[in-house]
Each structure stands twice: as structure tokens, then as C-alpha cells.
């Protein structure tokens, strides 16, 4: 297998990851973190780059992808949790959000009076193209890795290069959110990219691509996956740092509601109308490639789980559902997606960590179950709290956990659950050995 193939697969993975949230959140982080920017972006890169790439490598250990990984907790949990992941990153949140960002940053600036009808027409065209490209997943690497990703890189470099020469505002002090613990604030912000849970879906695309090219040995497959992941990591880190720096330099130019507004203003300042066009190209390519990757991943997953449905049928259902939800608007999609991500993300992180250390506890399902049960309890609290549900009866207990103020209160329960599960495993083995000896 040629290095060129690994490079293109790495490019494809970059394009699949780099979607709506990857443009919006780094630039917002840059503006809000100010002089604490590099600490904040370091935390963001850990959850936005490091964990997703490691997750993809972890998927290479499993022939059936995320469902087999999560199935180490329990087979039914594997099916349910993985289905939730695919629905979250697919038609319910990820795909509609990306389509809306593509519309608001790539199309709205060119309409004199955008309305629900312009959104409708845009999404008709957008999802028709997504459907067409997604019908033949075997050509995904060629279409995205060889053509769309290089075009995306060129457009991003053009915007970033201009910012270094034409944005000269001084760096401002950090906002309250980034004053005390900027690294951990950035760490939590990285959740919003959805890339760690997205990696559970994208991982099987990467692994399948290598297998189609003749890589079947487990060790070699993992090495190749890590090499492609390194290509992706370098690209994502460079883009995040550069785009975030644009946000830091834009702090003196005015106040903005969100990252898309910051980027739009920056593009206008740097290149005028040409900047608006350049940003539109970046957003359209980034969101389109992500939507295609998510549609393919969902199509493959659900068509394999539901034998009566063909891949083509599932792709059509995913596309139509995503199209329908996209037309409710970006703000509504973000509002109901955040609580779900706050709940799901810690569970996904714990699963990945356990996968890489599972040989030390002989892949015991009790270790997995203990860690996931306690993590789920705490992350459910965080998710419901993010939704605005009154949980005053539980807050005094949860607030006593270490790292509560950092929104990482699930970490110690996860460790305690894993240790308790390991202890139960040892006791059960000893009991079984004793009974066998007596018999």
C-alpha cells in the first residue's frame, strides 16, 4: 500500500471531522479567551483532535466498529448506545446543524432578504447533492480525499494568511469564563465539535478503506490508522489554532453573537466581498463533506442492523429526516443538542479509555459496567442541568465531587466504578475457583 493512499485517507478523515462546529467554536474561544488563548486552545485541541484521533485508532481493534466496542459493557447497551450516537451525529443534530451553518455563512450574505423559503430552497439543493455523493461510499475517499479536502485547505489558508497581515487589534484580557481555568474551559468547549462521538462513526469508514486496500493484519491496520490520524491531527490542530487566533484578534472590532458572525466580519474586513465569497466556499466544503461522511456512516450502520432496509433506503430516510430538521433553524438545533452532548460525551470518552487499557483487566465486562453506570449517572445530571431541569435535590451531592467546577465531575465516579467492577470480577473469579476446587 502506498503512502499516497494513507495521505488521502487522512485528508478524508480531516474533511469528515471538519464541519460546522469546527469553524464556529474555535473562533469564539479565541475572542473570549484573549490573553489566555493558548491555554484555552490547548484544552480544545485535546478534546477536538486528540480524543477523536485516538478513538478512530481504537475502532481499528473491532471488526464491527463502535457497536462491538460499546458491546463490551453489554450487547444490548452496545446496540442502544451506538444507535443514539449515530442518530445524534446524524439526522437529529450533526447533519442539520452543518447544513444550517452552510446556509447562514455561505448563502445568507448573498440574499437581500433571507427567509424560511430561501433556507428551504438551499437545503433542497444541498441535501440532493449529499444524497447523490452518499449513494456510492466506495468512491468517498476519491471524491473527498483527492478533491474536496485540498480545495478546503487552500480556501482556509487564504483566509488565515490574510488575517495575519490585516488584523492588527491588540489581544484583550480573557472573559470570566476563561479567567480561572482556561485550559479546562477549552477542554469542555471541545465537546461541542461532536468529533469524539463522531469518531465512533467515522472510524469504521477509515478502517474499511484500509481493508479495501489489502490491509488486514491487526497490528498493521492499527499503525496505518494512526498514520492517517496523524495527518488529520496536524491539519485540524493547525486550522483550529489559526482560526482561533482570528477570534482573538477580532475582539477589538466589535461584539458578536456567535462564531459565524465573528468569521463573517473578519472575512469582510480582510478581503471585502471577496472575503465573504472565500468564507462561503470554506463553509460549504466543510459542511458538505461532513454531511456526506455522516450520511454514509449512518447508512452503513442502520442498513447492517436492519436487514429489511437496503443501504440506499436508509440513506434516503437519513437525508429526508436531516432535511426536515434543518428547516427548523440553527438556534433551535443547537439549543436541544447541547444537553444531549453533555450527557453522551463523557460516556464515549470513558469507553475509549477503557478500550486502550482493557488488556490490563482482561477485558472484564464488570469493569466496563461499573465505570459506565457511575459515569452515566453524573453525566445525566449534567445533561438535564444543561437543559434547565431543576435538580436542586441532587446538586448538594453532585457538587461535592472533585472537578465539579470544571464540569468534569464524572471523572472520579468513572474511576470508582471501574475499580468496583474490577474488585467484583476478582471476587467472582475467586468464588468460581473455590467452587471448582471443592467439586
The torsion of the CA quartet 157, 161, 164, 166, rounded to 10 degrees, works out to: -130
Q: Tell me which of 104-108, 257-261, 352-356, 359-363 is least confident.
A: 257-261
**CB of 408 closer than 8 Å to CB of 183:** no
As a whole number of angstroms, the distance between CA 334 and CA 118 comes to 20
As a whole number of angstroms, the distance between CA 306 and CA 71 comes to 17
Residue 193's closest CA among 33, 46, 351? 46
As a whole number of angstroms, the distance between CA 376 and CA 345 comes to 10
Record the pTM: 0.79
The answer on pLDDT for 119 being more than 80 is yes
The answer on pLDDT for 152 being more than 70 is no
**What's the pLDDT tens digit per position in 299-322?**
888 998 888 889 999 999 999 999
The answer on pLDDT for 130 being more than 60 is yes
As a whole number of angstroms, the distance between CA 188 and CA 200 comes to 19
Please give the pLDDT value at position 146.
61
Work out the pLDDT band at 271, boundaries 50, 70, 90: confident
Please give the pLDDT value at position 144.
60
As a whole number of angstroms, the distance between CA 283 and CA 345 comes to 25
Please give the pLDDT value at position 5.
82
The answer on pLDDT for 436 being more than 70 is no
Please give the pLDDT value at position 372.
96
As a whole number of angstroms, the distance between CA 236 and CA 234 comes to 6
Q: Which residues of 72-85 are buried (b: 16+ CB within 10 A; e: fewer)?
A: bbeeebbeebbbbb
Enumerate domains of the chain plus CATH numbers: 3-328 (1.20.1740.10), 336-439 (no CATH)
Mean pLDDT for the chain overall: 84
Please give the pLDDT value at position 420.
95
Amino acid at each position: 500500500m502506498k503512502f499516497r493512499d494513507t495521505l488521502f485517507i487522512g485528508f478524508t478523515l480531516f474533511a469528515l471531522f471538519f464541519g460546522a462546529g469546527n469553524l464556529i467554536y474555535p473562533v469564539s474561544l479565541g475572542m473570549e479567551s484573549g490573553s489566555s488563548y493558548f491555554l484555552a486552545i490547548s484544552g480544545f485541541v485535546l478534546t477536538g483532535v486528540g480524543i477523536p484521533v485516538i478513538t478512530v485508532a481504537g475502532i481499528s481493534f473491532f471488526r464491527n466498529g463502535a457497536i462491538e466496542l460499546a458491546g463490551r459493557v453489554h450487547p444490548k447497551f452496545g446496540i442502544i448506545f451506538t444507535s443514539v450516537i449515530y442518530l445524534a451525529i446524524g439526522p437529529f443534530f450533526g447533519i442539520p446543524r452543518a447544513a444550517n451553518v452552510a446556509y447562514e455563512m455561505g448563502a445568507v450574505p448573498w440574499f437581500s432578504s433571507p427567509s424560511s423559503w430561501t433556507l428551504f430552497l438551499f437545503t433542497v439543493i444541498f441535501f440532493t447533492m449529499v444524497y447523490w455523493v452518499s449513494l456510492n461510499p466506495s468512491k468517498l475517499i476519491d471524491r473527498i480525499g483527492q478533491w474536496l479536502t485540498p480545495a478546503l485547505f487552500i480556501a482556509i489558508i487564504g483566509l488565515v494568511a490574510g488575517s495575519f497581515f490585516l488584523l492588527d487589534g491588540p489581544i484583550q484580557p480573557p472573559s470570566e469564563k476563561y479567567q480561572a481555568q482556561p485550559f479546562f474551559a477549552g477542554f469542555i468547549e471541545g465537546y461541542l465539535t461532536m468529533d469524539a462521538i463522531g469518531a465512533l462513526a467515522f472510524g469504521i469508514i477509515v478502517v474499511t478503506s484500509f481493508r479495501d486496500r489489502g490491509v488486514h493484519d491487526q497490528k498493521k491496520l492499527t499503525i496505518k490508522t494512526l498514520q492517517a490520524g496523524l495527518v488529520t491531527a496536524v491539519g485540524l490542530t493547525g486550522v483550529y489554532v489559526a482560526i482561533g487566533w482570528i477570534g482573538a484578534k477580532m475582539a477589538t472590532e466589535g461584539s458578536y453573537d456567535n462564531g459565524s458572525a465573528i468569521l463573517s466580519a473578519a472575512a469582510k474586513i480582510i478581503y471585502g466581498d471577496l472575503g465573504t465569497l472565500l468564507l462561503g466556499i470554506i463553509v460549504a466544503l466543510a459542511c458538505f463533506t461532513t454531511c456526506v461522511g455522516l450520511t454514509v456512516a449512518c447508512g452503513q450502520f442502520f442498513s447492517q442492523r436492519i436487514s429489511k432496509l437496503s443501504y440506499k433506503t436508509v440513506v434516503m430516510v437519513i437525508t429526508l429526516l436531516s432535511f426536515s430538521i434543518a428547516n427548523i433553524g440553527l438556534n433551535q438545533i443547537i439549543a436541544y443538542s447541547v444537553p444531549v452532548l453533555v450527557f453522551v460525551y463523557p460516556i464515549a470518552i470513558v469507553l475509549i479509555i477503557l478500550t486502550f487499557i482493557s488488556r490490563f483487566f482482561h477485558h472484564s465486562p464488570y469493569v466496563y459496567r461499573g465505570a459506565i453506570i457511575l459515569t452515566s449517572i453524573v453525566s445525566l445530571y449534567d445533561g438535564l442541568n444543561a437543559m434547565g431541569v431543576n435538580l436542586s435535590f441532587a446538586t448538594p451531592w453532585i457538587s461535592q465531587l472533585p472537578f465539579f467546577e470544571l464540569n468534569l465531575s464524572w471523572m472520579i465516579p468513572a474511576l470508582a466504578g471501574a475499580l468496583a467492577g474490577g474488585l467484583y470480577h476478582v471476587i467472582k473469579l475467586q468464588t468460581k475457583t473455590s467452587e471448582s476446587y471443592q467439586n
